[in-house]
Amino acid sequence: MHDQHMWRGLAVTYAVVAIIQLYLGVSTGATWAGVLAAVWLLAALGSGAAARWQGHHAHDDDVASDESARGCLSSTEEELVQWAARRASDRTL
């Protein structure tokens, strides 16, 4: 989720820079400013696409990380979890 926010922030930043460059290009007649405005606009569009892609795949990554986290317990930790589960079920009976 943090990656999606980062990409969105970059997209907004690049879009603002593109608008400023476009203003400079129009007000001064500088061709280089218009070219840079196009470059910044492409960067904004790419960052926006990356944000959309990150948001689309964030759920898949969360599920995968939850599943992989289960396999990260050592045998001692797994025994403790099983002991705590047995203890909790004994108390409810």
Contact between residue 32 and residue 65 where contact means Cβ atoms under 8 Å apart: no
Cβ contacts of 19 within 8 Å, gap of 6 or more: 37
Confidence of residue 70 (pLDDT cuts 50, 70, 90): low
pLDDT digit string, tens, across residues 27-54: 999 999 999 999 999 999 998 888 888 7
